[in-house]
Amino acid sequence: MDFNALILFMVFSAVLSYLVSKSNIKLGAYSTILFSLISLIILFLGRNNIGNEFSLLYMNFRVTAIGWYFSLIMILIYSMTAFFNPYWMEKILYPSSYNFLYLFSLAATVGLFFAADLITLFIFWEVVVWSSTFIVPLGKSRKAAVVYFTISSIGSMATLFAIMFVYSKSGTFDINEAFKFLASEPLTATFVFFTFITAGLTKIGIFPFHIWLPLAHGNAPHTFSPVLSGGLVKMGAFIAYLSVGILPAYKAFSTSMTIMGIPFQIYLLMVLGAISIVVGTLMAIKQDDVKKLIAYSSVANGGYILIGILMMDQVTFAGSLMHIFNHAIASAAAFLTIAAIAHRTKTTKISELGGMIHKMPVSYVVYLISIISLAGIPPMGGFVSKWLIVQGLASKGLIFIAFAAFFGSIGSFLYVFRPLAGLFLGQLAPKYENIKPSTLVMKIPMVILASMSVFFGIFPKYLLETIGEIQTSIGIDPIMINGDTITTINGVLNTNKVAAIFGFGFVISLMIFLVLPKSRKVGLMDTYTSAEFIYTPELYHYANSFYAPFERLYKNHPSVEKFLGKFAVKTEELGILVNSLFFSHKPSVTVLWVMAIATLIFLGGVDI
């Protein structure tokens, strides 16, 4: 089953689900689950398609190893999140168009990853941007969609310009050949490099372009934000890979000035990635709405991914590819648990919730596993990828980038723990006393994603072998891995051994716990209150402004939004000034211009 049939099938399934949900919304939602799962199976089984080329309506495709890897992640996230669609059908304004756009954007992303020439790439890029722009306002706010679209269009316009410029120089659109000529001209290479990668930066949400992420994720319908943060952000990583892997960046910039051994153009982007880690972490620690919090964590993790891809070496590149997979699963699982809670309690604000663990234990366990992976703590997958990235940075000696990486990973302990303590643990508010746990259909994707994080944390061999293949196909030496022992230049990690030791320690502490005298179960309100009698659980739950002392340190921080706001006001004033000067009906202005022209003529001595 070669892949042009796959793309056709997916587009056709989008239209079909539109028709089905026209007749019955619930059925339409279930059809999205069915079709996305089928396309996942087709893609997974069609691994041998790597390498063959085909064309469809004069758009030609080429199945590359990295394309297959990215689309596998994308379809996985889409299919897992689709399980939640049936429960949001009545909440969304236009459910049938939602189903259609959901599957259509999926088809477009797969098409993008298999594009052979730049025009197909750009077409599918625009299709994805348009379809997701229409889905975002189905949630709460139109403003989010407007901001999302404007920033995405900045990226796509810049990339379009780069594509046209490259076509004018090289004469071909084919991805592999188009950028070859840049190797010899460093100046144009720098220019093309920066314009082409902007689309990637806007999509990953790197520092100046990260404004849309909290808005879009915060306000998109609960069942689309996992896809937005887990899936669509990864398209930006693909563009970043193209602009460093296919475009011979290191060869072109080999002559230019290097900072700490890295060409300054690439180092500049890595600094942007580092800034977005720090900004993402600091803003995530502050948030009260969990969805915005996870959105900012996607900004931070996007920074990791960009840094990893830009390094294009054996260890860091493998780390960032694996981090794309781990981050996609973990943040999708986190978003799904929050959606499950929002489905029952109608709110995602931490200060309004508390003690959800007593009502929804499964979502708690899934959330716990996904944040352990997000924070990069050993037994989970996230640790392996962060370990690789940090080992790579250490071996290259980039201490400023490493500072941001460590700030991000330890800061992630803070912002992942805030919802854990404020939302799941602590006192249960009486008004949520009788909410039902999440339904079985909701539990399936959550459990699958969580078990994937655990599985790839202990046996990263399967993931790293495919990444090794990708690295060889690109031409950099692959990550050295033999049976779950990852060896890098100056560090060895054997995840089986670490997991076994962790299990051994856990068993010993469990035995100590069981040997000792039993403990008596007491309610949550029977707790130390300096001997005062308390009767109101809400008052006794510590949830809002969780890190108040730390947040006070950067209370009035400069923010991109304010800067853009001021910039907008300034341009408006400029417009008013120009209007009053040139387009006003007042006679005095015309007299002014007559005299000005007269004096000019007099001074200039124009020979009429």
Partner 1 sequence: MKIISNNSKTDKEDMRKIWEKIGDYFRANSIWMKWYCTGCGAIELPPTMTSRFDMERLGMGPMATPRQADVLLITGYLSSKTLRRIIYSYEQMQDPKYVVGFGSCTINGGIYYDSYATMKQLDNYLPVDLYIAGCMPRPEAVMNGFDTLISMIKKGEANGWKHYKENYDWYSRNQLHSLGEVYVKDEFHE
Partner 2 sequence: MNIMNFIYAFLLLVFVFLFQTSITGINRKVMARLQRRRGPKWYQQFIDIFKAMSKSSTTHGWIFDFGVIMALGGIMATTILIPIGPFKAFADVDNIFIVSYLLAVGMLGMAMSASGSGNPWASIGVSRALTNMLAYDVPFMVLIVSFIYAFKTSSLSGFAALQQGAGILGWNFFRFPLGGIVALICLQGMLGKKPFDSFIAPAEIASGPMVEYGGRHLGMLFLLHEFSTFIEVSIIVHIFFGGGATPLEFMVKYALLYTFMNIISGVFPRFKIDQAVKFYYKVPLALAFIQGLIIIFTGLGVS
Could you say which of partner 1, partner 2, none residue 393 binds, taking C-beta under 5 to 8 angstroms by partner kind? partner 2
- Looking at beta carbons only, is 518 or 586 nearer to partner 2? 518
Could you say which of partner 2, partner 1, none residue 425 binds, taking C-beta under 5 to 8 angstroms by partner kind? partner 2
Is 374:301 a contact under the CB 8 Å cutoff? yes
Min dist CB 532 to partner 1, Å, is 6
Q: How far apart are CA 461 and CA 449, in angstroms?
A: 18
- Residue 486: strand, helix, or coil: strand
Q: How far apart are CA 11 and CA 1, in angstroms?
A: 16
- Looking at beta carbons only, is 153 or 494 nearer to partner 2? 494
Angle CA 134–135–138, to nearest 5: 105
- Looking at beta carbons only, is 45 or 534 nearer to partner 1? 534
Measured in whole angstroms, the distance separating CA 206 from the mean position of its chain's CA atoms is 10
Site mask, partner 1, residues 471-510, x = CB under 8 A? ----------------------------------------
- Looking at beta carbons only, is 531 or 548 nearer to partner 1? 531
- Looking at beta carbons only, is 522 or 548 nearer to partner 1? 522
CA atoms 265, 268, 272, 274: torsion sign:
positive
- Looking at beta carbons only, is 257 or 531 nearer to partner 1? 531
- Looking at beta carbons only, is 539 or 606 nearer to partner 1? 539
Closest Cα partner for 175 from 122, 126, 125?
122
Min dist CB 350 to partner 2, Å, is 12
Could you say which of partner 1, partner 2, none residue 534 binds, taking C-beta under 5 to 8 angstroms by partner kind? partner 1
Min dist CB 540 to partner 1, Å, is 10
Could you say which of partner 1, partner 2, none residue 552 binds, taking C-beta under 5 to 8 angstroms by partner kind? partner 2
Could you say which of partner 1, partner 2, none residue 532 binds, taking C-beta under 5 to 8 angstroms by partner kind? partner 1
Size of the site for partner 1 (CB under 8 A): 8
Spatial neighbors of 273 by CB under 8 A, at least 6 apart, are 206, 207, 302, 303, 304, 306, 307, 310, 401, 404
Min dist CB 396 to partner 2, Å, is 8
User: In terms of residues, how long is the chain?
Assistant: 608
Q: How far apart are CA 218 and CA 215, in angstroms?
A: 5
- Looking at beta carbons only, is 226 or 426 nearer to partner 1? 426
DSSP for residue 222: T
Q: Which amino acid is at 419?
A: P
Could you say which of partner 2, partner 1, none residue 254 binds, taking C-beta under 5 to 8 angstroms by partner kind? none
In what helix (H) or strand (E) does residue 342 lie, and over which residues does it extend?
helix 314-345
Q: How far apart are CA 520 and CA 474, in angstroms?
A: 61
Residues 182-201 that bind partner 1 (CB under 8 A): none
Could you say which of partner 1, partner 2, none residue 533 binds, taking C-beta under 5 to 8 angstroms by partner kind? partner 1
Could you say which of partner 1, partner 2, none residue 44 binds, taking C-beta under 5 to 8 angstroms by partner kind? none
DSSP lists the bridge partners of residue 352 as none
CA atoms 452, 455, 458, 462: torsion sign:
negative
Residues 301-340 that bind partner 1 (CB under 8 A): none
Closest Cα partner for 306 from 219, 421, 401, 395?
401
Residues 390-419 that bind partner 1 (CB under 8 A): none
Q: Which amino acid is at 118?
A: L
Output the 3-class SS for 19-61.
HHHHHCHHHHHHHHHHHHHHHHHHHHHHHHHCCCEEEECCEEE
Min dist CB 181 to partner 2, Å, is 36
- Looking at beta carbons only, is 399 or 441 nearer to partner 2? 399
Do strands 480-482 and 258-259 pair parallel, antiparallel, or not at all (unpaired)?
unpaired
Q: How far apart are CA 240 and CA 199, in angstroms?
A: 8
Could you say which of partner 1, partner 2, none residue 574 binds, taking C-beta under 5 to 8 angstroms by partner kind? none
Could you say which of partner 1, partner 2, none residue 457 binds, taking C-beta under 5 to 8 angstroms by partner kind? none
CA atoms 85, 337, 458, 388: torsion sign:
positive
Spatial neighbors of 351 by CB under 8 A, at least 6 apart, are 288, 422, 543, 544
Min dist CB 430 to partner 1, Å, is 14
Min dist CB 334 to partner 2, Å, is 15
Residues 507-566 that bind partner 1 (CB under 8 A): 526, 528, 531-536
Min dist CB 432 to partner 1, Å, is 21
Min dist CB 537 to partner 1, Å, is 12
- Residue 485: strand, helix, or coil: strand
Min dist CB 195 to partner 2, Å, is 32
Residues 433-452 that bind partner 1 (CB under 8 A): none
- Looking at beta carbons only, is 129 or 356 nearer to partner 2? 356
The neighbour count for residue 535, using CB atoms within 10 Å, is: 7
- Looking at beta carbons only, is 531 or 553 nearer to partner 1? 531
Decide if residue 430 touches partner 1 (CB under 8 A): no
Is 482:491 a contact under the CB 8 Å cutoff? no
Q: How far apart are CA 455 and CA 300, in angstroms?
A: 24
In what helix (H) or strand (E) does residue 492 lie, and over which residues does it extend?
strand 491-494
- Looking at beta carbons only, is 379 or 537 nearer to partner 1? 537
Could you say which of partner 2, partner 1, none residue 524 binds, taking C-beta under 5 to 8 angstroms by partner kind? partner 2
- Looking at beta carbons only, is 483 or 517 nearer to partner 1? 517
What does the block give as tokens for 131?
């379809």
Min dist CB 349 to partner 1, Å, is 25
* Gyration radius of the chain's alpha carbons: 27
Could you say which of partner 2, partner 1, none residue 336 binds, taking C-beta under 5 to 8 angstroms by partner kind? none
- Looking at beta carbons only, is 86 or 426 nearer to partner 1? 426
Could you say which of partner 1, partner 2, none residue 355 binds, taking C-beta under 5 to 8 angstroms by partner kind? partner 2
Q: How far apart are CA 553 and CA 122, in angstroms?
A: 43
Min dist CB 517 to partner 1, Å, is 9
Q: How far is CA 376 from CA 227, 379, 392, 410, in A?
A: 21, 9, 16, 9
Chain contacts with partner 1 (rule: CB under 8 A): 526, 528, 531-536
